[in-house]
Amino acid sequence: MNCLGSTGFGSTGFGSTGFGRTSFGNTIFGAALCALAITAVPSAASAQSSFRNYRCADGSQFMVGFFQYDKRAHLQLDGKAVTLPKRVALTGSRYQGKGVTLRITKAGVVTLKHARRKTTTCEQQT
């Protein structure tokens, strides 16, 4: 028995399964169990991702997304999508690529440098 197909309506009809239930009863029980399992499992995307909005001291704003099993930072910056690979950092995290550097210290201080601008401190928006 699986969620996509049933074994209750085969060539055996509505015969006994040997446990006092009919195969039709097994089909109904299996369908109910499948429906319960589908509604009980939370969305995989919501459990495995984190999105944050930031506003920086220089007036720039950006959104960053982090996904489980992906070490990159996915930014929406100046209306463009930018994917930054994770780089080696002494403390915290550093993501850098395409002229953009995002740093997040262990203390939670976030800085952004992009497009020949000076490094600016950013705060997470709620």
pLDDT reported for residue 23: 56
Rounded average pLDDT over 103-107: 96
Listed in sequence order, the DSSP H helices in the chain are 23-40, 44-47
CB 24 within 8 A of CB 6: no
User: Per-residue pLDDT tens for 51-103?
Assistant: 999 999 999 999 999 999 999 999 999 999 999 999 999 999 999 999 999 99
CA atoms of 98 and 82, how far apart (whole Å) = 8
User: Of the candidates 107, 70, 74, 101, which has an alpha carbon nearest to the alpha carbon of residue 88?
Assistant: 101
Report yes or no on whether pTM surpasses 0.85. Answer: no
Say which amino acid occupies 72: R
* DSSP notation for 21-43: -BHHHHHHHHHHHHHHHHHHSPP
pLDDT reported for residue 123: 97
